Each structure stands twice: as structure tokens, then as C-alpha cells.
């Protein structure tokens, strides 16, 4: 917030679609996975250098790093470190959810550390991460407890921006309301365990359905919303403003391809186009 | 099935609770993460050598490897390779779920490969993986398509074995039935796109509620069930038999701590106790 931005820079690097400067430089002659991971690291560093000053956080999509195996995990740690050095928060987007000991292990991986006979092994050190609520409250509380111990945040999937959100999240319940409204109530229960006007337990709320965002705000008055779906997925920042009147909890707008691939439409340099698009979004979203 | 076993050996190694022989041997003097990952690898190899002959597959819990960072990913690949060499299937338990490009990246990570300017990077090469249905059918079909291209399987979370399953999965729908029954119908729709009597799209069905298992079988007649919750979580193989009458699709019983920590109750060697418990489960579950 001190940066006067509510833009979260999504990092979902596709090794087949990196900025040319990242592919050309410093990749050496090792195995393909290591060369690709080095190029992904260079690409994400360049994106952060270009667009980061207009953003408050980066959101690495863990799948995009995992597909490069161990070198991908090295790249993820390097990119997270670069973002932190640039003064940005790191929001690990893995949408994890699992039972007791497995959820605890995800907490150790993302925001904690793991005791071993050889000393503690530090995790990614993220400032926040996304979580999936399907398996219930006991699976979420293990994650939120881990986050609180690390002074980190959790964004729980509530109503996402994809067409398939209609298949499960939108199902009408016998007790009234939709499934996502019930999940929003669960998130709010977790959030109200905090002190203060804002909770560290937020919600992922697709920006492609602005009418839902207002209802979400009623159900989760103290949660920060993470709003994917702007840009490439068709959502518009301007449509979201009513849910974020002054004095209410805020929203973070995530944008990935619309920033990173802005040069494909504009014809200018990747870095210049990314910076311009991030600045445009920053100005548009500052009211949220 | 040629191994005459329906036991899936869960590998969720806790670095603070490894078999002593794994901690003592071959860990060198590197950073804690690398030493812990080497010990985890040695532990999982020993568990596979001891209990593997009574099992049909291993199920590494990805969280337990991710918490060791890049060395953990190296350990995961080594353990998967050791299991394959022992003739076991590899079922990657990560419960992933995400939209289009991200789901595709998970498919590349688990069962596919990733095109890069430096050549294709192979993923984990799993024979199957678990998936989370919360975000809807479009997110599942990206994963099932990736699995089919690799001749691999997917087990979709339907009704899990934890107490929190009551919070979301068990919600009653306005249209009738519970949420998990609707998800079961979605899984069956995906499964019937296959030829043949058995589908490559299975379901995760907690073994702690045997009365649900019979209903699941009605809703998903062609899907293999992955049945966690035996042993440490209180489920009993004997209670599940009615859902697996001859001529119906089968079930795979997963067991982790009840096999790996069997020596803590029996007082015998870790390997001997694990082998004995796996053999006991194999015999009990062969009817499923």
C-alpha cells in the first residue's frame, strides 16, 4: 500500500514464449531443464524490473516452475528473491489443499521451515499463498495457522474467473445461496479470528463477474480480495469499483499476460510495453 | 493387477521421522536441504524395497518433497524412478486444480513434457495423479486430456476421509443430493468418454465412511476408487467389500503411516514390520 499500487504482477512464464533477451543471454550449455530454468529466471527478473515499480506484489504460478523440475524450483526461489529485493511482496499461487499432515507440509514449503536431523530447511518464504477449500475447514485452518505463524496471508478460492466456475462453485444449496456464498462465509469465519479492521485471510474472486464481487464484499467485509481475470480474461477494473468504496477492505488486481505480452499488441519493446500497461492498470485500480 | 495387490504405498516422508538407517547413511556434509533430501530418498527406497513387493503402486505426497525445495524435487524424481524400477506404478498425490494454462502446466509437470527453446523438458512421468474439482469441469478436462495423451490416469477428489469433508463436500444441493454426489456425476461423465469396462478417470473416496463407498459405486460404475483412510485414519478394509462385488470396477487401498511406522507398535525392524503390514493389507484387500 505504501507503493500506492494494488496491482499484482502474475508470473506464469511459458518457456516457449519468453522475452527474447532472456532466451539469448546467459543460458550456457547444460541440460535443457537447466537452460530453460535460467531463461525463465532471466525473463521474470526482466519483467519485475520493468513492471515491478507499478506493482505491489508478484504472483508466481507454481505450476509453471514445477514443470521444469528441480531447476524450476531453483528458478522460483531466485525469482522470489529478486522480487523481495525490489520491495515487492511474493504471493505463491499453487491453490494447495490437503489433509492435516500434508497441509502442514505445504505450509512448511510455502511460508515455514521443516525440522530435519541436519537442521531446519527454510521454505519459499512467501508473503501469502492461495488455497483450495474443497476438503473443508480443517484443511484450511492448518494452512491459515501456518500463515499466521509466519505473519503471512492466505487467499482462499471462493468464486473463480473461469467458465467452469458454474459447474461446482455456483451450485445452489438446499439451505439457500450458492456454494461460493457458503465458502465465503467459511472464509469470513476464519478472517474474523484476527484483530484489526483488515484480515490476513483473503479471497480469490474472479473479476469477470463484477456483480458477484459486490455480494462477496457483503459476505467478507474484512478480507482483501485477489481479483484475477482482468485483461486477457476480459474483466475490467472500472466495473469493480462499487465493491471497493472508501472505508472498506481492499482489492488486489492480478494481471499476467496483459502486462508481460503487452508488446505483442503495441509493437514497442517488451519492457517498455509492460511498464506502460502496468502503470495504466495501477492508475485505474488505485480506487479499489 | 498382475501383482495381485491393490495396496498403494503412500510415501509422505517426514524428515524428522525417517527410518534410522536412512538418516545414518550417505548424507555427506552439504546444506541441510540436500542432506535431508538424500536421507528422504534413502528412506523411501528402503520402504519401497521392504513393502513394495506387496503393493501395486506408490503414492508420493508432493507436499512432503516440495518442503525441501529443489533438492526435494530431485528426491521425488529419484524415488519415482526407484519405484518404477521395482515394477510399481507411480501415483503423484498433489491434488492440483487450476485454470486453462496453469492446469496444462501441471499436466506437463506430472505426466507430460514442456517445449522450450532448448528442447523438451520431461516431467515427473507419473502413471496417475490426484486432482481437485472445485474450479469446475473445464479445469478437470485439461488435466484428463493431458493424462490421456500420456496413457496416465487421474483420481479426482470426490469425498475425502477427513472430518472437514462435512463442511463443503457434504453440503446438500437444492437440486437434490450432496455436493460430492454431483462431483461424482461429473467424474462419471468424464469417465464414460473412455472405451472399455474400466475408465482411466478414478475417484478419491475416503475409506472412513463405508456407507458412502457403496453410493459412489452406483454413481461411478466404471471408475477405480483410490481409498485413503485405512489404518492411521481408522478405516477398515473389511468394511469396504460390499462396494466391490465381482464384476465391478476395483478399488485401490492407500496406506502410509500404518505401513511405514508399523515397527513403532510391533517392536520389530522397520523393514520387517512394514513388509508384514503391507502383506496383511494385501491379503485383506484382494477381494476389492
ipTM: 0.95
- Interchain pair B138, A162: CB under 8 A: yes
Interface test with B, best of A123, A134, A182 (most B CBs within 10 A): A134
- Res A265 pLDDT > 90: no
- CA A178 to CA A164: how far, in whole Å? 15
User: Which residues of A are identified as catalytic?
Assistant: 95
Q: Residue A229 has which C-alpha cell?
A: 481475470
DSSP states along A118-147: T--EE----SEEEE--TT-HHHHHHHHHHH
Shortest CB distance from B32 goes to which of A61, A119, A124?
A119
Q: Are B207 and B228 in contact (CB under 8 A)?
A: yes
Shortest CB distance from B121 goes to which of A14, A69, A139?
A69
- CA B130 to CA A228: how far, in whole Å? 25
- CA B171 to CA B169: how far, in whole Å? 6
Contacts of B224 (CB under 8 A, 6+ apart): B153, B155, B198, B199, B202, B203, B249, B250, B251, B252
* Stretch A217-241: mean pLDDT: 81
User: Which residues of B are identified as catalytic?
Assistant: 95
- Res A3 pLDDT > 70: no
Q: Residue A67 has which C-alpha cell?
A: 514443470
- Res B92 pLDDT > 50: yes
Q: pLDDT class for A197, splitting at 50, 70, 90? A: low
Q: pLDDT class for B288, splitting at 50, 70, 90? A: low
Q: pLDDT class for B267, splitting at 50, 70, 90? A: confident
- Res A1 pLDDT > 50: no
For B:50-109, CB contacts with A below 8 A are 61, 63-64, 66-74, 77, 93, 95-103, 105-106, 108-109
- CA A256 to CA A233: how far, in whole Å? 10
- Res A208 pLDDT > 80: no
pTM over 0.90: yes
Q: pLDDT class for B233, splitting at 50, 70, 90? A: low
- Res B29 pLDDT > 60: yes
Which residues are bridge partners to B57 per DSSP? B8, B89
Q: What is the pLDDT of residue B26?
A: 52
- CA B162 to CA B263: how far, in whole Å? 25
Question: Beta-carbon neighbour count of residue A162 at 10 Å?
Answer: 22
- CA A235 to CA B127: how far, in whole Å? 37
* Stretch A88-116: mean pLDDT: 97
Q: What is the pLDDT of residue B4?
A: 76
Interface test with A, best of B13, B60, B72, B105 (most A CBs within 10 A): B105
- Interchain pair B172, A172: CB under 8 A: no
Q: Are B206 and B235 in contact (CB under 8 A)?
A: yes
CB half-sphere exposure, A167, CA atoms < 13 A: 22
Q: What is the pLDDT of residue B250?
A: 84
Q: Which helix (H) or strand (E) holds A171?
A: none
* Alpha helices in chain A, H assignment, sequence order: 20-24, 32-51, 62-66, 69-85, 100-110, 137-149, 179-191, 210-219, 257-260, 262-266, 270-285
**pLDDT tens digits for range B115-147:** 999 999 999 999 999 999 999 999 999 999 999
- CA B114 to CA B121: how far, in whole Å? 5
- Res B20 pLDDT > 60: yes
Per-residue CA distances from B46 to B40, B42, B238, B283 (Å): 10, 6, 28, 22
What is the least distance, in Å, from the CA of A2 to any CA of chain B?
31
Reading phi first (left if > 0) and then psi (alpha if -120 to 50, else beta), residue A158 is in alpha
* Stretch B20-41: mean pLDDT: 84
- Res B245 pLDDT > 70: no
Q: What is the pLDDT of residue B242?
A: 63
- Res A164 pLDDT > 70: yes
Q: What is the pLDDT of residue B33?
A: 95
- Interchain pair A69, B102: CB under 8 A: no
Crossing angle of helices A210-219/A179-191, nearest 10°? 40
Q: Which residue of B has its CA nearest to A31?
A: B118
- Res B79 pLDDT > 90: yes
Among residues A161, A133, A139, which one has the least CA distance to residue A228?
A: A161
* Stretch B218-242: mean pLDDT: 80
Q: Are A238 and A190 in contact (CB under 8 A)?
A: no
Q: What is the pLDDT of residue B72?
A: 97
* Stretch B251-259: mean pLDDT: 92
Among residues A227, A207, A134, which one has the least CA distance to residue B186?
A: A134
- Res B243 pLDDT > 70: no
- Res A158 pLDDT > 90: yes
- Res A83 pLDDT > 90: yes
Mean pLDDT rounded to a whole number for chain A: 91
Q: What is the pLDDT of residue A199?
A: 83
DSSP states along B83-138: HHHTT-EEEEEEEE---HHHHHHHHHHHTSEE--TT--EE----SEEEE--TT-HH
- Res A104 pLDDT > 70: yes
Q: Which residue of A has its CA nearest to B27?
A: A118
Q: Residue B58 has which C-alpha cell?
A: 506408490
- Res B27 pLDDT > 60: no
* Stretch A152-173: mean pLDDT: 96
Amino acid at each position: 500500500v505504501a507503493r500506492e499500487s494494488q496491482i499484482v504482477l502474475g508470473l506464469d512464464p511459458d518457456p516457449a514464449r519468453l522475452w527474447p533477451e532472456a532466451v539469448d543471454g546467459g543460458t550456457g550449455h547444460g541440460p535443457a531443464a537447466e537452460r530453460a530454468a535460467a531463461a525463465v529466471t532471466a525473463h521474470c527478473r526482466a519483467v519485475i524490473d520493468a513492471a515491478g515499480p507499478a506493482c505491489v506484489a508478484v504472483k508466481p504460478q507454481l505450476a509453471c516452475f514445477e514443470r521444469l523440475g528441480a531447476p524450476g524450483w531453483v528458478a522460483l526461489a531466485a525469482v522470489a528473491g529478486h522480487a523481495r529485493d525490489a520491495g515487492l511482496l511474493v504471493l505463491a499461487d499453487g491453490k494447495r489443499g490437503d489433509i492435516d499432515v500434508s497441509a502442514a507440509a505445504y505450509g512448511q514449503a510455502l511460508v515455514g521451515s521443516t525440522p530435519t536431523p541436519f537442521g531446519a530447511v527454510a521454505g519459499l518464504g512467501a508473503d501469502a499463498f492461495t488455497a483450495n477449500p474443497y476438503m473443508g475447514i480443517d484443511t484450511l485452518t492448518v494452512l491459515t495457522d501456518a500463515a499466521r505463524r509466519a505473519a503471512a496471508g492466505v487467499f482462499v478460492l471462493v468464486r473463480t474467473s473461469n467458465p467452469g466456475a458454474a459447474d461446482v462453485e455456483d451450485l445452489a444449496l438446499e439451505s439457500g445461496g450458492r456454494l461460493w456464498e457458503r465458502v465465503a462465509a467459511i472464509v469470513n469465519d476464519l478472517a474474523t479470528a484476527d484483530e484489526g479492521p483488515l484480515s490476513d485471510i483473503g479471497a480469490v474472486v474472479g473479476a469477470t463477474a463484477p456483480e458477484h464481487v459486490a455480494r462477496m464484499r457483503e459476505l467478507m467485509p474484512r478480507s482483501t480480495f485477489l481479483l484475477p481475470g482482468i485483461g486477457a480474461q476480459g474483466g475490467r477494473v472500472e466495473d469493480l469499483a462499487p465493491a471497493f468504496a472508501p472505508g472498506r477492505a481492499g482489492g488486489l488486481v492480478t494481471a499476467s499476460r496483459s502486462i508481460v505480452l503487452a508488446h505483442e499488441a503495441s509493437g514497442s519493446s517488451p519492457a517498455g510495453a509492460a511498464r506502460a500497461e502496468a502503470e495504466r492498470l495501477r492508475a485505474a485500480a488505485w480506487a479499489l
